Amino acid sequence: MMKKLILLFLLSFQAHAELNADMSVFFSYRCKPCEIMKQHLDTFAAKHQVDIHYIEVEQHPELCQQYRVTATPTLFVGEQKVEMKGLQSFQQLDQELLAMLAHLD
């Protein structure tokens, strides 16, 4: 199945919403690491034909609480949080994301 690259800055979400993209990224406009991560993830998503949604934490505190997001950037594949601790490069992140995405299909 071909997946389209979708970049959404979600403006409204209901409480208890589900993360329905292949990947979801909680970010803040004031977060410099988020800017770097977004650039990398946009390239990753285009290369691997992955749907990705960007969720701004200050506009959606209810989702942060629901998904226990306490720092940005925070990534999810489906509804599974990506464990970033211990990852030392974008190459390692890509490998982890590809492995997790393989379990979505």
Which structural domain, as residue segments, surrounds residue 34? 7-102
The total number of structural domains in the chain stands at 1
- For residue 37, give the CATH number of its domain: 3.40.30.10
Q: In whole angstroms, give the CA distance from residue 72 to residue 13.
A: 19
Examine residue 2 and state whether it is found in any structural domain, yes or no. Answer: no
Mean pLDDT of all residues belonging to the chain? 83
Read off the pLDDT of residues 21-39 as tens digits, 9 standing for 90 and up.
Answer: 789 999 999 999 999 999 9
Residues 83, 94, 3, 38: is their CA dihedral positive or negative?
positive
Q: What angle do CA 4, 75, 64 make, to 5 degrees?
A: 115
Rounded to whole angstroms, what are the CA distances from 100 to 15, 22, 80, 82? 26, 10, 9, 8
Neighbours of 67 (CB within 10 A): 18
Which of the four pLDDT bands, split at 50, 70 and 90, describes residue 9? very low
